[in-house]
Structures are given as C-alpha cells and as structure tokens.
Amino acid sequence: MYQYLSKINVMEADTILKKHGRSSKSHTSRAKFSIVAYFIIFSALFISCGKDKDDVKVNDDVEPAIYVVDVSEVTEWDYAILGSDKSKLFFTVNEETDVPTRMFLMPDENSEDGFTFLFKANGLLDKMIFQNHIFYFGNFRGNKFDLAIIYPDNKIEYFTDIETDIDWDEYYGISIQRLFWDFSKASKTLKIIGHAAGVGTCVTTLFFPPAAIGCKAYATALVPTLTDVASIVVDKFVPDGIISDVAHVLLDVVGCAGGGWFGPIDCVSAMGNTIGLLSHLDLEFIDSKSRFINEAILNVEFTSDIRDIVSLDIFENLLELGIEINVGSNPPNVEGTFIITPLMLLESNFDDSLRPGYMFADMRLTFSNQNNVNQTVVVEYIYQDSATGSGLGSFIIGNGNKFSVFTEITGTFEGYPFKSVEIYSGEITLDGIRNYSSALMITAQSPATIRNGQGRLAIDADGFSPRVSSVPFEVKSVGNTELKSVIAK
C-alpha cells in the first residue's frame, strides 16, 4: 500500500501558487539609472535578403557593429540592440532564464512599420505581428518548421515543411540560465534573437513580400550565424557622470546625441516607451484575434488524431486554465507508473467550491504501449478516492525530455460512468516526472463529477512525481472526507 498523502501546509501552498503566477506581483523600478553597453564588434558582411549576391555592397569605411544596451532603468524593455545602420530592436527577457520573451524591430530610423515578436519558453519564435497580419511559427523539427498567416479578414493560410539551415532541435535542450551575467555567452542570445528576426522577416518574405523591409535590418545588423566576439567593452552611462566615447556612439545611433529638450536620458526613455506603445498595440491586436490564433495553433502543432479528440472550443477552455503544452513531433518515452502527490488545485474555470491550493487525493498514473510512429500511448489512472479512468485513444507530443499527452478518458466514479478530455504535461526523468501538470474538461458528467464543460488545472505541488513499480495501487481510507479526486464535484 502506498502512503503518498499530501503534506503541504497553507503557507507552502501559497508559495507554490505565487510561483505559478496565481498571486499579484508589483514591479518596482530600480533606483539607479545606467546603460551598460556591450560594444560587440563582428566581422560580418553587410548583405541584403532582398537582393542578389551581385547587388550586395559592403561599405569598407564602416566597421560592422551592433550595440547591446541595458535600458531596463528607463524603459519597459530590458535590452536594446542598436544596429550601425540605425535599426533598433528592443527586447525583454525571462527573469529566471534570460530567454527572450518579446521584442520589437524598427527596421530603420525613417520606417513607420515595426515588427513585434513573441517567443516560446525555449527561445523558439512563436508569433510575429506586422501590418495587422499575425504569423504563427510552430512544429519545429530538424531544420524545418510550419507557418500560419492570419490575415486581417481572419483568413488563415498554412505553409508546411519550410526548410532552413538551422537545427531547431538544439532549442529543445537549450540551457542559458543567467545568460547576461556571463558575457562569454552573449553571442548565444544574439543568435536566438537573430534566428527570430531572420525567420520572421527574410523567410516570411517568401510568403508575405512586405516583410522584406525588416530583412535588410536583420541581414546588416543581426546576422544570426555570427558567434565569434572580437571584443566586449562594458561601459556605464549615468546621469551625473561623464559620458564616455562609447556612450556618445550609442546616443548617436539612437538619435539622442543632442538630447533634445530634456537631455539624453529622457530621449532614450521616450524612444523606448514609444516603441513599447507600438508593441502593446500589437499585443492588443493579438488578444482580439485569440480564437483564430488558437485555430492556427491547433492545426499547426497537433495531428488530426488529436484534433478529433480536442475541438477548438475544448482547446480554448484548456488553454484558459493555463496548462503548459509541450509541442513537438519527437516525444520522449514516458512508459511507466508514477505517483502524483501532493496533487494541488491551481485553477478552475467555474465557481468552484474548492479553492486554489486545495490538495486532492493522490493519483497513480500509468503510460504504456507508446508508439512514436503513430504518436500513441495508453493511459490509465486511479485516485485514492476510487475514481478510475483509461484512455485507449491517447496521443503524445513533445521533444527532448518534455511531453504532453492528450487523451479522451472513459472512467467510473462512485459507480457511475463519466467521460473527460485531459492533458498531462511534464518532463520525464529516469526517476519520475518533473513539473507534472494536468488539465481536464468533463464531456459526459456523472452524479459525482463536476458538470459538463467544467474543468480544473492541477499540479504536483512538490515538482516531482516518482516512478514506482506497477503493483496495484490500493485505495486508502484516509479519514478525511474532504479528500477528493480532480474530477469530483
């Protein structure tokens, strides 16, 4: 008999909820202003994606260079990349991993068009917005990816098997923790930024010619294959200090050398905030097109078998719960039996009598008969409150060690049958599942379950679900009548 009872107290549950973004967080501005300039000189050709090789001209009088600048003190952005051609690219990074999360490219100083880019958690390009067109990038595998273009009239066009010279599989194992505190790895982040700008502008130009305006800026200032850093000069630009030669160059690049009415600091701040406003308008535009974006994601990332299980309506409901879906067509082997404990409620899509932080009954989850050719797997589970379920028509996606399983469960609870659509996500290890999470939606209710269309998101609160032998999981009498399974009403 397994004794995996939940033993996390209220304070620990609150800490876990905060980690998953279920509590408010205020942003405090830093008290001190500084611009740290990484003066990076590259040996690179100035090329243009929109021209033949014979038409390319290199200005021998201009030393190719880009400047990566910390602008977090005076703008909503973390860093800016300033090209010697006066193109500007601002971006933010994940505070824990330093992977880029959002960026905005202004191709040249006279351009009225800009590109907003959004990134997936591992650094792959997720979406680009340009001229009221939304570009969704997905199904990255090998050197190929798929693209969906959502037009202003909501028409969606799909392009598959787009070949590049980039090995996208490298991203699934990417590890760039605290990247910007290690200057020797700066080129790696620039490579991620460069891949996104290059694919988002030059590659999409083949399908949407107006994007060519951004291709030139990418090619001249953000060539993604560059990895050799000739020199790095760290400099500071402070209000009461002396502006160094490097800082003067940076101010000239962004057009703030004169400083305007309020001085160079406010000039840089105003420029960053103006670009921030343009980016936020794109984000609002994305929000207004969420259903069409979700339709594109469903068609790009998931097989027809998964779409037979997960309709667009169900998919949107599961996404609203906040489940993390690990996409990819090369999932790891997840066969085995795992104890999910302590299983904690994170979110509900209805007026739930159970609140976030509630600890459910422990669950034994088994994956078996995995077939990566058909991307199928068999799912079975049992809770300590006697709820059982199985999904014979289950499908697995993912890449590296991360996976997501989609299944249509047929089960019984307190003697009554029920059906649900469920997603299980996590990262497989030799000893178990790391960061397990699951989302479910009831599709055929029973007297003991929550109602049709109602769903919950739950996680293993301690972040690890141990692998166990497949001996029977005995249902326990725990003496706590409130201990319930995730499906229980």
Alpha helices in 289-388 (DSSP H): 290-301, 304-309, 312-321
Which of 297, 329, 361 is the C-terminal boundary of a domain?
Answer: 297
Q: Please give the tally of structural domains in the chain.
A: 2
Report the alpha-carbon distance of residue 88 to residue 106 in Å, rounded. Answer: 5
Domain boundary among 269, 297, 325: 297
Helix (H, G, I), strand (E, B) or coil at 19: helix
**21 within domain boundaries:** no
Same domain, 171 and 270: yes
**Whether residues 310 and 291 fall in one domain:** no
Q: State the pTM of this model.
A: 0.78
Whether residues 291 and 373 fall in one domain: no
Q: What is the pLDDT of residue 158?
A: 97
Check whether residue 269 and residue 345 sit in a common domain: no
Residue 375 is assigned to a structural domain of this protein: yes
Dist. CA 343–CA 484, nearest whole Å = 10
For residue 466 the two structure tokens come to: 């141990």
How long is the chain? 489
Q: Would you state the pLDDT for residue 106?
A: 86
pLDDT confidence of residue 67? 62
Cα distance between residue 190 and residue 222, in whole Å: 8
- Would you say residue 33 lies in a domain? no
CA distance 50 to 126: 24
Q: Is residue 478 part of a domain?
A: no
H or E element in which residue 297 lies:
helix 290-301
**Cα(164)–Cα(206) distance, rounded to whole angstroms?**
13
pLDDT value, residue 412: 87
Residues 337 and 283 in one domain: no
Q: For tokens 């100035």, name the residue.
A: 46
Nearest to 456 by CA among 380, 342, 344: 344
Whether 82 is in a domain gets the answer: yes
| pLDDT for 259 | 53
Q: Is the domain of 121 the same as that of 193?
A: yes
Is 388 part of a structural domain of the chain? yes
Same domain, 282 and 373: no
Q: Evaluate the CA torsion angle 43, 47, 49, 52 in order and state its sign.
A: negative
SS3 call for 212: helix
pLDDT tens digits in sequence order for the chain, 489 residues long: 333 344 455 556 566 666 666 653 333 332 222 333 333 322 222 223 333 333 333 334 444 455 667 788 788 998 887 666 677 888 898 877 778 899 999 887 666 679 999 999 888 999 999 999 999 999 998 899 999 999 999 999 999 999 988 888 878 765 444 434 344 445 566 777 778 888 888 889 889 998 888 887 666 655 433 333 333 333 444 444 444 555 565 566 566 665 555 566 677 777 788 888 999 999 999 999 999 999 999 999 999 999 999 999 999 999 999 999 999 888 999 999 999 989 999 999 999 999 999 999 899 999 999 998 999 999 998 887 567 778 767 999 998 899 999 999 988 888 889 999 999 999 999 999 999 999 999 999 999 899 999 999 999 999 999 999 855 555 443 444 457 889 998
The residue range of the domain holding 345 is: 10-16+306-468
